[in-house]
Structure 1
Amino acid sequence: MKHELILFVSVFFIAVLTAVFVYVYFASNKRREFKPVKEKLYGYRPKLFTFLILMGFGVAVGTLFEFPIAKQAGTKPVEQSIKVTGYQWYWVLDKTEVYANEPVEFMIKSADVNHGFGIYDEDLVMHTQGQAMPQYTNRLVHTFKKPGTYKLLCLEFCGIAHHNMVAALTVLPAKE
């Protein structure tokens, strides 16, 4: 039923859009005097340009406040650190348990090809991601808010057994 409704709504809007295009095509062949309209619209151009520049600047500044890389760039030492190495088609972690509410530093690299490194909770909601590349170590810092078992999945197709590239990380309750 839901798919049929989506199909009906889609076909309806496509039909309306097609009718609008057909109308515009046939109506555009009629010649009219555009000089008054042109003069009026050209008067709005400087105002529109200024408005768009201010909006663009506002959006750029507004979206950079929570830029996630700035948190990663700090040199503050992290007590919990895990070395992660991606292979075709498995992950190797030097630790599999960490504590909640404390930053965890993942040192991610690959021994063979590029791998995407994604951390998912038990509901398969992604919490953070990084990139595992050969001959390079990426640093990813993340603080787990809830204890539980998290899945580490490969996000980049790395070969025939890519779908089996899963590891587990246990997040223990925060230390008292």
Structure 2
Amino acid sequence: MTRRRAGLVALFGAALLALAVEPATAQPSASTTVEQIWDLNLNLLYVAIPITILVEGILIYTVWRFRNQDEPKPTKENRRLEITWTVATAIILLFVGVASYQVMASPYVTAEAADQAELQGDDTEHIEVQAYRYGWSFYYNGTSFQNDAQVSSTTTLRLPANQDVVLRVTSRDWLHAFHVPALGLKSDAFPGQYNRLQTRATETGTYQLYCAEYCGSGHSQMLGEVVVMPQDEYEQWRSEQQNASAS
């Protein structure tokens, strides 16, 4: 392949990359979790799309260039070319590994095993998520933290906007999975165990919650909502619930 043709292929690949990435970057991020996941996806696309275009371009050119050759000839050994693509592959894999590790190691992305009792931070809201056949219960600094009156809700999980929240996910009976796609949240719910999710919702609104693990005949009805509220409205709601529980 001549330098001119290689340049045209590279330019074509860059144009396709721009078209593919621009719509994705325009999407608002509803939480820090989904923002980091999208950033990783876009970084991988920056690498994958040009490589795909380049390889497919070389393949199409080769097929077209030698389409009339009835007797194929063996390729000659080219150590420089072999070393080049080996080093290039190693660099690409290193980039993918580092980028993935930075996101997967983030507490906002990866679920971690948690103890039954976990200390509450000053600036972090702790909520226990309990799955059961076939619904959801949520406890706000209540059952696990004895320094606060119990505040709970069913079906609807309420979160304060622009504040770190720790979700401790568990199950009352058997295996379920807590999943809120728009917020980038997903964790298995095991009976007698806790998985810890941390996030910061940045956009107020209502988001779909459902069970992502088949759990029986009522699995498809195991739905809920996550309502992200301004902090002052969230504090007012929790205060009203706390007063009602104490009375």
Query: How would you bin the TM-score normalised by the shorter chain?
Result: 0.5 to 0.7
1:119-134 mapped onto 2 (5 Å cutoff): 119=180, 125-134=182-191
2:131 aligned with 1:86 = yes
1:1-176 mapped onto 2 (5 Å cutoff): 33-34=73-74, 37-40=75-78, 42-67=79-104, 69-71=106-108, 77=121, 79-94=124-139, 95=152, 96-119=157-180, 125-175=182-232
Shift of 1:93: 1.1
Runs of 5+ in structure 1 lacking a partner? 1-19
Aligned-pair identity in percent equals: 24
The residue type equivalent to 1:111 in the other structure is R
Alignment check: 8 A CA contact 2:183 2:201 kept: no
Distance 2:77 2:208 in 1: 62
The residue type equivalent to 1:117 in the other structure is F
Distance 2:103 2:190 in 1: 26
Distance 1:137 1:93 in 2: 14
Q: CA RMSD in A?
A: 3.2
The residue type equivalent to 2:162 in the other structure is N
Shift of 1:80: 1.3
After the TM superposition, list the runs of 4 or more consecutive aligned residues in structure 1 that deviate by more than 6 angstroms: none
Distance 2:163 2:101 in 1: 24
- What TM-score do you get using the length of structure 2 for normalisation? 0.49
Task: Name the larger-Rg structure.
Answer: 1
Distance 2:129 2:120 in 1: 20
Number of positions where the alignment pairs a residue of Structure 1 with one of Structure 2: 145
